[in-house]
Amino acid sequence: MEYEVIIGLEVHVQLNTESKIFSTATNEFGGSPNTHISTLCLALPGTLPVLNEVVLEKAVRAGLALGCEITQFTKFDRKNYFYPDLPKGYQISQYDKPYATKGGIHVKWKGQETEKFIPLTRIHMEEDAGKLIHSHDSSINRSYVDYNRAGTPLIEIVSEPEIRSSDEAYAYLNELKTLLRYVQVSDCNMEEGSLRCDANVSIRPKGEKGFRTRVEIKNLNSFKAVKQAIDYEVEWQKDMYARGETFKQMTKLWDAALLKTIPMRSKEMSHDYRYFPEPDLPALVITDQYIDDIRRHLPELPRAKKERYIKELGLPEYDAEVLTSEREIAEYFEKALSISKDAKKTSNWVKDEVLGIVNKESISISEFSVGPERIGKLVDLINRGEISGKIAKTVFEEMLQSKDDPESIVETKGLKVVRDDKAIEEIVNRVLETQQESIEAWANGKDRALGAIVGAVMKETKGKADPKIVNEMILAKIGPLGSKKQ
């Protein structure tokens, strides 16, 4: 039986605001337990929430970057459940009036020629819960609670069940992360939990209309885990149907060590949460002017940027893809280009040399010691014929060791292209005396012999001679190809 895979993703993203969503407690990852908290995070009696306006601004920015419609009238609701990491006994979330709806993400994955549009259902704002820390290191098992994370602003991005494979899911997450990082609302670091993803998975026989029972998978700690868990779950469901069995809608946990999904509980329904409007927060009216203001300040998004690099700068698609993969990389490239005025050469330097080191050292491009200005100037030196491409590599090595400009490195190390004909001629003469064999070969019609002679001269000049001059000079001295052949 051939099955079609149906996937919908629910992604929680922590917003990088300075303070929490409803209090002035600091919003920071890590720190000793219970040091980033306020009375509100602990739900002490008498405390009341006040919406941090930066949360709304960042949430709207994210919504616009994802092509959503922003809801004019939106409100908060209480989602009730009991767990020690949630001292109020309810989470402030949004139920029937999420602040953003629709929108979607264009994705492309390996082996795929054209983009696919994955529509979103909604995005809503909510607060994060605290964390339980279980200790097993003494004879007594204890659990501790850390409220540092309680009240961290979150947006939950819910996709339509339009994802059809684990590769698609992987590409969707990557694109989502890229977009949210571009608009600087979150670093989307899965290891630190600033992006978390639950995957809803079901399958149905090819051609069948309507959806079958789905399983929701939690505890996915990396994009790779999302892919593995989906693949595992699809096989599990196929196996169930093959044996003629059915299963209930449920929540499972991904076990990254065992590489399998493990049932956790039967799926709770929304009525289990007894949602009702949050009485301590006013409803929000988001005006068009507010939305337009944020829209106007959005940066150029990666897809548009990539298009422009291909169409206006004439870069190959691969280059455009690499350079726009992170906003910081694109900004670095554009800064360098504004000096060099040569898109392809600058692209080569940024994607090969600069990113080569940045990736090897696992740093971000903004931490790289050679800034875009110096790369721009270096490319300019090559284009003005001041140095050869080979010498440029030497200059780059020098730049890594110092703060000097490429120009001054070329000057102090004497790396400038030698155009002084006399000096070059002297070297050519000297080298030709040692190249009798190649000169013979050239005269006998072996065209490759010229390369050997030019190479020998360039080596002698340490790559500094203008290759064009060297070529002309040698030809003038050794005569035309195959002169002895007749």
Does residue 473 touch ligand ADP according to CB under 6 A?
no
Supply the minimum distance, in Å, between the C-beta of residue 47 and ligand ADP: 28
* Nearer Cβ to ligand ADP (8/49): 8
Token representation of residue 11: 């992604």
Q: Which residues from 336-375 bind ligand ADP, rule CB under 6 A?
A: none
Q: Which of 33, 67, 161, 193 binds ligand ADP (CB under 6 A)?
A: 161
Residue 118 vs 320, nearer CB to ligand ADP: 118
Q: Please, which residue, 170 or 332, has the CB nearer to ligand ADP?
A: 170
How far does Cα 363 stand from its chain's mean position? 13
Does residue 276 belong to the site contacting ligand ADP (CB under 6 A)?
no
Stretch that binds ligand ADP, among 4-12, 38-46, 91-99, 169-177 (CB under 6 A): 4-12
Asked if 86 is part of the footprint of ligand ADP (rule: CB under 6 A), the reply reads no
Using CB under 6 A as the binding rule, whether residue 6 contacts ligand ADP is answered as yes
Comparison of 164 and 295: residue with beta carbon closer to ligand ADP: 164
Min dist. Cβ of residue 172 to ligand ADP (A) = 11
Asked if residue 160 binds ligand ADP (CB under 6 A), the reply is yes
Nearer to ligand ADP, 61 or 122 (CB): 122
Q: Tell which one of 81, 83, 211, 247 touches ligand ADP (CB under 6 A).
A: 211
Comparing CA positions, the residue from 156, 101, 125, 146 lying closest to residue 52 is: 125
Q: CA-to-CA distance for 420 and 423, rounded, in angstroms?
A: 6
Lookup: tokens for 359:
């990736």
Cβ proximity to ligand ADP, 10 vs 405, nearer residue: 10
Toward ligand ADP, which CB reaches closer, 210 or 414? 210
Round to whole Å and give the CA distance between 228 and 217: 11
Tell me if 8 contacts ligand ADP by CB under 6 A: yes
3-state class percentages of the chain: helix first, strand second, coil last, to nearest 5: 40, 20, 40
The closest of 131, 119, 130, 107 to 40, measured between CA atoms, is 130
The three-class DSSP label of residue 143 is strand
Residues 171-200, mask of contacts with ligand ADP (x by CB under 6 A): -----------------------------x
- Record the tokens describing residue 275, joined without a space: 């949602």
Query: What are the strands of the beta sheet with 276-277, ordered from one edge?
Result: 90-93, 77-80, 276-277
How big is the site for ligand ADP, counted in residues (CB under 6 A)?
A: 14
Closer by beta carbon to ligand ADP, 73 or else 211: 211
Would you say the C-alpha torsion 288, 291, 296, 302 has a positive or negative sign? negative
Q: CB under 6 A: which stretch of 6-14, 187-195, 235-243, 474-482 binds ligand ADP?
A: 6-14
Question: 471, exposed or middle or buried, with CB in 10 Å at 0-12, 13-18, 19+?
Answer: middle
- The interface region with ligand ADP, picked from 2-10, 137-145, 389-397, 459-467 by CB under 6 A, is 2-10
**DSSP secondary structure of 84-115:** TT-TTSEEEE-SSS-SEE--EEEE--TT--S-
In the complex, least distance from residue 163 CB atom to ligand ADP, rounded to whole angstroms: 8
Residue 97 is a binding residue for ligand ADP (CB under 6 A): no
Q: Is 214 a binder of ligand ADP (CB under 6 A)?
A: yes
Q: How far apart, in whole angstroms, are the C-alpha atoms of residue 40 and residue 49?
A: 7
- Structure tokens given for 191: 């290891």
Count Cβ neighbours within 10 Å for each residue of 135-159 and write b for 16 or more, e otherwise.
eeeeeeeeeebbbbbbbbbbbbbbb
| Nearer CB in complex with ligand ADP: 160/331 | 160
> Is residue 158 a contact residue for ligand ADP (CB under 6 A)?
yes
Query: DSSP states of 206-246 as a string?
Result: TT--S----EEEEEE-SHHHHHHHHHHHHHHHHHHHHTT--
Nearer to ligand ADP, 8 or 153 (CB): 8
Per CB under 6 A, the segment of 57-65, 153-161, 433-441, 451-459 that binds ligand ADP is 153-161
Task: Report in angstroms how near the CB of residue 20 gets to ligand ADP at its nearest.
Answer: 24
- Summarize as ranges the residues that interact with ligand ADP (CB under 6 A): 6-10, 158-161, 200-202, 211, 214
